Chains A and B, each alone.
Chain A
Amino acid sequence: MVLARFSFPWALISLAGIFFVLYAFGKIYFSHATDIVFWILVPFLPFLILYGWDIFRALVFHGGRAVWIVDGILIFLPYGWPKSLNTFFYSIPLNALDRFSTGSMETGSFVTWLPGIRLHLKSGGYLQIPSYLLEEPRDVILARLNQALAENR
């Protein structure tokens, strides 16, 4: 059951941005203009490739799905660090979730205005869904998540 899909313009902007970043790093490398910051940031480029590949797959093969449920497991695109190097998407059983709430994304930077949904875990802590990347309004996604949580509780 698909709960939310990617916003097509945002997905395209994200893919274009990732391509540009990879192009820029490649150009800096081949023009021998590298510096220490370049080499500090290079280890994170696999995350970009993974993220871009997941978005591309979702758009082309899965109708742009971004949040969905399969067999009681909630799968979603997180705002955070990827959990593995196989996919950027998180998978978490619904019965491990306590509740949902809305809030701004914690980006670790001065960007504090991106809207999102927080998934509070029973074990403590929370995960984040970047709702600004999604097509449906945040309240609609939140209502669907609450309904799914109530059905699987």
Chain B
Amino acid sequence: MPAFRSFSLPLSPGAQTVPDMPAGFHPDGLLSGLNFCEGGADSPPVAPSGQSDNLHPEGLLLGGLNLGGAGADIDAWANGAHTPGFPDLSGAMRGTLNNSGPEDRARGIGEALEGTKLAAEGTHGLGALTVLGAGAGRAAPIIEGLEGVNRGFVIPLTIGKGIADTFSDVHGGAPLGEAIVGNGLRSGLVLGGAALGQAIIPVPIVGGAIGGYVADQYLPRGSMMGHGIIQGMIDYPPQPLDYL
């Protein structure tokens, strides 16, 4: 028998037997043949996997039936009013349900800057490709002009995105130091990705644009990087993020 040992049912003290229980339920704690009361009512809830930190704070949810918290649905089972529902995931989705704060506006500015940079690089590349396809040489003035214009875009817009992301993370609750360090490092890595892409993909403009785009897609959020760096330099163990 697996270690299902903590599904304590909060029955009232005098309720040794509960009438009209659903099939398979036993007042000693056997539900469908599994003993959920092995650890006793005072044991902390433990999931079947043994991972107690995966549990919902309100109690353990099993198919919409709250078996572990105070005021569990046993009364609903008893009077037939229980209807199976979906687990409450609002805790896990909290960060995505409330997205109209200043951090999201700053994040939007950052994404707009990054999008402007990459769209400019891409359209410069397409422009150069069109000109070359029309028969112009590599050293045609329009190609040099496109490359010159593109050169001025990349660094300022990457730095601008880093600043906007820093504001976003600070508004979202990140410590200022972690946001600055993390987003500074992130901007540097995005530029590094662009430089590496420009080196290993020997196509003007396009190599850097692709390298920067892939780096930006795959790097974690700046405040998370800053959190790891700064907490890693402090003696006590890294603390979990509480603002995401």
Contact = CB atoms under 8 A, between A and B. Distances in A.
A20 B204 contact: no
Contacts of A20: 214
A21 B128 contact: no
Interface residues of A, number: 43
Interface in B197-244: 197-211, 213-214, 217-218
A137 interface: no
Nearest to A11: B200
Interface in B108-132: 115, 118-119, 122-126, 128-129, 132
A41 B154 contact: no
Interface residues of B, number: 45
A126 interface: yes
A60 interface: no
A25 B214 CA distance: 8
A68 interface: no
A80 B201 contact: no
Interface in A1-33: 10, 13-14, 17-18, 20-21, 24-25, 28, 33
Contacts of A105: 202
A133 interface: yes
A120 to B, nearest CB: 10
Interface string B159-199: 00000000000000000000000000000000100111111
Given A17-B200, A77-B202, A37 B208 contact: no
Contacts of B155: 110
A108 B202 contact: no
A110 B217 contact: no
B210 A108 contact: no
Interface stretch (B45-53, B77-85, B99-107, B145-153): B145-153
A44 to B, nearest CB: 5
A107 interface: yes
Contacts of A38: 213
A130 B202 CA distance: 8
Given A81-B204, A107-B204, A114 B199 contact: yes
Given A36-B115, A37-B115, A108-B151, A21 B198 contact: no
Nearest to B158: A110
A41 B137 contact: no
Given A37-B213, A41-B209, A106 B147 contact: yes
A111 interface: yes
A100 interface: no
Contact of B139 (A36, A108, A126): A126
Contacts of B208: 107-111
Given A108-B151, A109-B194, A13 B132 contact: no
A82 B205 CA distance: 13
A47 B203 contact: yes
A51 B201 contact: yes
Given A108-B151, A109-B150, A24 B217 contact: yes
Contacts of A125: 137-140
B153 to A, nearest CB: 9
A37 B125 CA distance: 12
A64 interface: no
Interface string A109-140: 11100100000000011110010110000000
19 contacts: A17-B211, A21-B210, A21-B214, A36-B115, A37-B118, A40-B122, A44-B203, A51-B201, A51-B202, A78-B202, A79-B204, A81-B138, A108-B208, A109-B194, A109-B195, A110-B191, A110-B194, A110-B208, A111-B199
